[in-house]
Amino acid sequence: MSYLGSHLSSARGYLAMGRTALAMGADTFAFFLRNPRGGAARAVAPEDILALRALLEEHRFGPLVAHAPYTLNPCGKDPRVLAFARSALAEDLARMELMPGQLYNLHPGSHVGQGPDAGVRGVAATLDVVLHEPMRTTVLLETMSGKGSEVGGTFEELRAVIDRTALGDRLGVCLDTCHVWDAGYDIAGDLDGVLEAFDRALGLSRLRAVHLNDSQYPRGSHKDRHALLGRGCIGPDALLAVACHPRLRHLPFILETPTDDAGHAAEIQWLRERMPV
């Protein structure tokens, strides 16, 4: 049985996120450790994190999938952009170690005119600064739609980042269904073929989480506009096939659809009613 959840606000604290997730019928969730648009990390009491850990264990949650701020560009050219990316990542990852064994998802960033190769080298250089041993958090690179100068619009590009990172063996990947669709991968018509391509480029064992979103645009549009489950161009059957796929069923599935907690709870219920136990 897959773990299902959505993005929750950390504004009311960590235990509060766990309780909200439970009330929604979720058994995983995603969250930002700071304002998603950047800025300082929200203060959090260690007791709050310990209380959340107890709740996760008691209710047998799957791995949580924390998310780095959207504005952070790990392969930025401007020294200030790069310095913020590295200090925010280092701070976030230090806090993640207070809740061992969770996942931390990162957009590889945008090369903004430096070219894809320089982008790949830049992401790896930032990862070399912030990854360390021993680390009990798994950092995930998210598959991107290839919008603008985004790095990570192909599985091969993510592989190149991993290969160039000293601790690359420790990195995982988070597959975003809207992003891969927008990048051109036909997860609706040929899911097995896409998973085979993923396996060839990255190894399926690297796939540690899924962002389950429909897309407002046709395949290959490079737009990155999420839609409610079944209300976009990927469609309900294809998304359900992803969530039920035997090679994926053990993973945490995070909804990033454009709705609120009540809407996500309804989507979780919709999925659970149709997924094999």
Feature table: binding site for Zn(2+): 67, 107, 142, 176, 179, 211, 224, 226, 256
H/E/C letters for each residue in 228-245? CCCCCCCCHHHHHHHHHC
Report how far residue 117's alpha carbon sits from residue 160's, in angstroms, rounded to the nearest whole number: 9
Beta-sheet strands, E only, within 35-102: 65-67
Q: State the binding partner of 224 from Zn ion, Fe ion, none, CB within 5 to 8 A by kind.
A: Zn ion
150 binds Zn ion (CB under 5 A): no
**Residue 176 C-beta: closest distance to Zn ion, Å:** 6
- Shortest distance (Å) from residue 34 CB to Zn ion: 19
Residue nearest to Zn ion (CB): 224
Residue closer to Fe ion by CB (options 176, 267) is 176
Q: Phi and psi dihedrals of 171, rounded to 5?
A: -85, 145
Closest CA to 270 of 187, 185, 212, 207: 212
- Binds Zn ion by CB under 5 A, chosen from 76, 224, 228, 234: 224
Report the distance separating Cα 235 and Cα 136, nearest Å.
Answer: 36
Q: Rank residues 92 and 224 by Cβ distance to Zn ion and give the closer one.
A: 224
Q: Which stretch binds Zn ion (CB under 5 A): 4-12, 158-166, 216-224, 231-239?
A: 216-224
Q: What is the smallest separation between the CB atom of 51 and Zn ion, expressed in angstroms?
A: 31
Quote the CA–CA distance of 19 and 23 in Å, as a whole number: 6
Residues that bind Fe ion (CB under 5 A): 142, 176, 211, 256
